[in-house]
Structure formats: C-alpha cells, structure tokens
C-alpha cells in the first residue's frame, strides 16, 4: 500500500461503536471488540510502514454518530501510534485531497476559509478526549466564521448538542 501510494481509511470507530452498543452477551459485541483490537494493531503497522491513512467513520452505523465519531476516529488513530499532527492531517488535508476538495478544505492558512473545532484540551490530553467520543467542542468555526450555539443547544435540548446543530 505504501509503495503504491494507496490511501487507507480504516474506520476503526465502527467496531468501537458496535462493541459499545450491542447488548452484553451478544456474540457480535465480543467479535467487534476483538476486531477493533486487531484493527488498531493493523493501523499501527501500516503507520510504521508509511501507508497514508485518512480519517473516516462510516457514520450512521450502529453506535457511530455523525460529528463526534470523527474526533473519536482521530483518537483511535493516535492510540494506534499516530502523532497529533498526523491524526489532524489524516482528517483534514489528506481527507480533503482524497475527496478532491483540497482547494477549499483541509488546511489552516492565511486567507483560507477554515472549518475546524476547538476543544478545551492540550495536545497531551487530546487523544484521550477524542477517543472517548463524547467531547463537546468549545467552539465551531465554519468557513472562517465562528458558529454560535442556539438557545436550544445552550439549554441542552438539541439532540447531540453543538455537534448536531452545526451539522444540520
């Protein structure tokens, strides 16, 4: 894969979602947990071998929610050995390039209309915060503009919190 320049999108968060959502005692739950462990080992090996790994989620699958799952996938990539900058690039610049959107997305640069999230965690804590998949961003910027929470989101009434509000 590395020699061919193939980009791999492992979507480990899907198995994490299954392992946490299926009922205790369901054989699929144990299978998903073992599969996740194997995926993390494969991601670590691919990373060591120089395979380009992009961040993806298969959102909409059981236990894999739109929004938080992207951060959770980044956390799993870091758990498998990627550094913070590599995980960010896998979700931003490499993801945009893979989709042919690199002209308008995937970078923080002067003049760029950046879309990004702000979390209240330092670099040393970010992997742990993201891998739990329940982190609420402190701020959301879309096309260079800060998006304010709606009254419903502030009151906790919007399903999915700020994630939900900026995605819909």
> Domain count of the chain?
1
What CA–CA distance (Å, rounded) separates 55 from 76? 10
DSSP count for the chain of H helices, then E strands: 8, 5
Range of the domain at 145: 7-167
The C-alpha R_g of the chain, in whole angstroms, comes to 16
Residue 30 pLDDT exceeds 80 = yes
Predicted confidence at residue 118, as pLDDT, reads 81
Tell me the two tokens of residue 132: 């739990």
137 Cβ contact partners less than 8 Å away, ≥ 6 residues apart: 117, 118, 119, 162, 163
Among the listed ranges 13-22, 59-68, 104-113, which one has the minimum average pLDDT value? 104-113
In a domain, 2, yes or no: no
Q: pLDDT (tens digit, 9 = 90+) per residue, 86-124?
A: 998 898 888 888 888 887 778 777 877 778 778 777 777
Give the residue with greater pLDDT, 149 vs 86.
86
């Amino acid at each position: 894969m590395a020699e061919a320049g193939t980009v791999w999108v492992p979507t480990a968060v899907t198995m994490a979602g299954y392992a946490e959502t299926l009922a205790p005692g369901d054989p699929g739950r144990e299978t998903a947990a073992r599969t996740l462990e194997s995926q993390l080992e494969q991601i670590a090996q691919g990373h060591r071998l120089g395979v380009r790994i992009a961040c993806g989620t298969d959102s909409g699958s059981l236990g894999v929610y739109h929004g938080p799952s992207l951060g959770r996938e980044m956390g799993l990539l870091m758990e498998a050995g990627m550094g913070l900058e590599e995980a960010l690039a896998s979700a931003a610049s490499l993801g945009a390039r893979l989709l042919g959107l690199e002209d308008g997305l995937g970078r923080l640069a002067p003049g760029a209309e950046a879309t990004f999230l702000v979390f209240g965690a330092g670099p040393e804590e970010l992997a742990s915060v993201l891998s739990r998949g329940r982190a609420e961003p402190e701020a959301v910027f879309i096309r260079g503009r800060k998006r304010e929470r709606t009254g419903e989101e502030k009151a906790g009434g919007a399903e999915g919190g700020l994630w939900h509000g900026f995605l819909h």
